[in-house]
Every structure is written in C-alpha cells, then in structure tokens.
Copies of this chain bind each other. A is one copy, B any other.
Amino acid sequence: MGQFPTNLGEAIEWLASFGGEPDAGVTRTLYTQTWKEAQQALKGWMEETGLLTNYDSIGNLFGRLPSPYSNAQTILIGSHVDTVKSGGKYDGAYGIIAGILALDFLKKQYGQPKINLEVVSFCEEEGSRFPLACWGSGMMTGVYSLRDISTIKDSDGISFETAMMAAGFGISELRVRNDIQTFIELHIEQGPTLEKVEKSIGIVKAIVGQKRFRITVIGESNHVGTTSMKWRRDALHGAINMIHGLYESVKEYDEDLVTSVGQLFVEPNVPNVIPNQVQFTVDARYPNESVLRSFCQEFTVMFETYAKKHDLDIKVEMWHEVQPAQMDRKLNEIIQSICTHSNIPSHWMNSGAGHDAQLFARICPTTILFVPSKGGISHSPLEYTSTQDLEKGMEVLIQLLHQLAYNR
C-alpha cells in the first residue's frame, strides 16, 4: 500500500501500527506520542480523501464532507482512537476507519450530501490512562467540562492538564456544537452474542445502565476447630449466602438483566480461621433505569436482612452509576430495513458495555451498530473480526448515510 490505506483490511492494520507491538496488542492511550501520531496520520488520510479536517481544543479530530447548504445540520459518524493497554486492533478504530471509507465512497458515488457528513476520531473513551472515561464525547456533549479533570493524574503522577498541553491541546473550553442532528457509531460487539446467534449486524436497542456496589460484611474471627457452627459470626459464610441469594433473585428478571460478583476479598484469609471480614463487588446492568433500581434495592434489603438475622455487620456503598441510554427507534428501523433488503442477517440486542454513543443519546437521535467479535474477546491482542464482517457493517453504514443525507 501507499502512504494511506485503500480498503478496510489495510486500514485496520495501518492504524494498529501506531502503538501496536507483535504479540502485545495495541497500546495508544490519551495524549501519548503514539496517540498523537495516530491522530495526525488519520488527519492526513482524511485530507487525502478530500475531507475538511480540524481538531477541537481537547484533541477530537473531525473530517467533514460538507453539504452545499449553508444552514445544513450534521450527521456525525465515528468512534474513539484511544485503546486500553495491550488492546485489540478493532475496538474504536473500526468506527473511525469505516466512517472515513464510507464518506469517501459516498462522495465518489453521489457527490455532495444534502446534510453535512462528518467523521470523528474521539480522543478518548476507555479511561485507561486517566480515571475518566468518554472524555472526547463527554466534552462534545457538555457532560464534562475542564473542571472535571482539574485533579486527575495518571499512574506516573502526570496531571491530565499537563498531558493535554504537552500534546498541543487544552487552551480553551469547548464550544458545544448545536449542528449535530444525528450520531452513528459502528463498533465491534465485544461480546459473544452475534457469534452465538449467527448474525452479522447487531442493532442496539439501548446501552444498559450500570450500578456498581461494594459490600462489606463484618463478623468475628475464631478458631475453626473450637467454635461450634451455631456460635460463629462467619463473614464469608454470610457473604456466600448473600451472593447465592443475589444470583437466585436475578432469575426472576428477563435475560437482559445481568449481575456479577467479580471481586471478593477475605480477611484474614487463612484456612483454619473463621473469616471476620469479606468485601465484594456487585455489578448490575439493565436497559431500564427503574427496573435496575428496583433490582438493586431488592438485593440491598435482602443482604441487610440477612446480616441482621445472622448478627453480621454490613455496609453497602454504590461507587459507580451510569444511566441507561436508549438508541433511536427510527434509525434502528431504517437499519433493519436495509439489512432485510440486502439480505444481511441482523439481531436486535442491548449493549452491555459503555460507548461514546451513550453520551450523544442525551442530545440527538443516536444509534450504534455492532459487528461480531470472535469468541466475544475484546480488550485483548486476541480481539478479531473477519474482514467480511467488517465490510458488512460498513455496507449498512453507507446505505444508512445515503438514505439520511442524500435521499431526503
């Protein structure tokens, strides 16, 4: 290939070369040198295809295929350029690449659109370098401001602001744009659903809400051999019964409700000592906020009732919360009809992971389309989607943009 890629397969490898190491995946965290090189390379490629480029003040990169109408609004298409540490080639990257190639195709086939088409390469979504996720889309949609990063540092102690300034950004506050009419994101699924149900396109109904809790159960340490079962205040026995109850209660809900205990610490964690403290996390997700809230209230009451009955102390803290985001029904119906007419097998589903699209759902009609992830694996060098599947996603995106920006 020349300086810039000419098709999807080439483009994935080309973008992965910025921060990619053999067997170590791609590491391209916010405002680092590889991150800057990737954004600059994307800017060059956008310009090569004839898009009008610009950065905003925090480093989001835009490539615009303008409408001839001066009062035209904008359909924004894109995803994030940053990665987790040792991530895959597709997460984020696919949505930017497919956007650039789609606009290039549409311009060559149909010329100027009636509505501005603009591809965005968001500076940050993963929260991998600094403890703040969806920075790019969060600033664009007015959810974040520069105040939100004033005290944040990376693991080397470098402040967010210092890193941003060093990359050449951050002089001024972002002006929230009022021309965005629609936001569309194309992304790998990062889960096994499409592969399991053997479909090519996931039409996302909602990005689920999340609530994460830290539960601390406190009992009393004693000698395992000399303390009768009936006199124990065993924090782990208590936690086991609570978590067992949690997993039983989820069965009363539909399968969109997922819950997990991913982290659990035992004190003193010695085979022959009755545990005096257990701390565990509960992660609960569902596309409807009121149902999710009532599920969480139910298990909290159940935990507290159990603790009281068994003379254990308990502390329940919610430390992370994300509201569910509903994707636009009309956009999804257009996507469904495109899939049907093009004979591309599709599947309506929720997204259990967070995405830039959930920030835009607050301000404009938004949707996200998924393509399959092999084995459901993501955030790993093993992340993989076949070029055939990537192309089907881009085909649907092109038809969708054609309907939205040329036919109306």
Chain A residues near B (Cβ < 8 Å): 189-193, 196, 208, 210, 212, 222-231, 234, 236-237, 240-241, 243-244, 247, 250, 255, 258-266, 269-275, 281, 283, 285, 351-354, 376, 378-379
Contact = CB atoms under 8 A, between A and B. Distances in A.
Given A212-B271, A240-B240, A281-B271, A224 B192 contact: no
Given A222-B376, A269-B262, A271-B283, A255 B236 contact: no
Given A231-B192, A244-B244, A226 B264 contact: no
B262 A228 contact: no
B258 A262 contact: no
A190 B376 contact: no
A223 B190 contact: yes
Given A192-B231, A240-B261, A225 B353 contact: yes
A318 to B, nearest CB: 12
Contacts of A376: 222-223, 226-227, 231
B227 A262 contact: no
A348 B226 CA distance: 14
B260 A274 contact: yes
Given A191-B227, A228-B255, A262-B269, 16 more contacts: A190-B226, A191-B223, A192-B226, A196-B231, A223-B378, A224-B258, A224-B260, A225-B283, A225-B285, A225-B353, A226-B351, A234-B260, A240-B243, A240-B244, A241-B247, A244-B244
Contacts of A234: 260
Contacts of A260: 224, 234, 272, 274
Give the 6 A-B residue pairs with the shortest CB-CB distance, closest first: A191-B226, A225-B352, A271-B281, A244-B244, A224-B260, A226-B352
B224 A262 contact: yes
A193 B269 contact: no
Q: State the number of copies, please.
A: 2
Contacts of A224: 258, 260, 262, 283, 285, 352
B264 A266 contact: yes
A318 B162 CA distance: 55
A228 B255 CA distance: 7
20 contacts: A190-B226, A191-B225, A191-B226, A192-B226, A210-B225, A223-B353, A225-B258, A226-B353, A226-B378, A227-B258, A228-B255, A229-B259, A231-B376, A237-B261, A240-B244, A260-B272, A262-B266, A262-B273, A264-B269, A271-B283
Nearest to A284: B224
A261 B229 CA distance: 12
A272 to B, nearest CB: 6
A192 B258 contact: no
A233 to B, nearest CB: 11
Contacts of A240: 240, 243-244, 247, 261
Contact of A189 (B196, B226, B270): B226
Between A224, A243, A255, the greatest number of chain B beta carbons within 10 A of the residue's beta carbon is seen for: A224
A270 B378 CA distance: 16
A262 B255 contact: no
A271 B262 contact: yes
A240 B379 CA distance: 27
Contacts of A258: 224-225, 227-229
A206 to B, nearest CB: 12
A193 to B, nearest CB: 7
A332 B271 CA distance: 32
A307 to B, nearest CB: 16
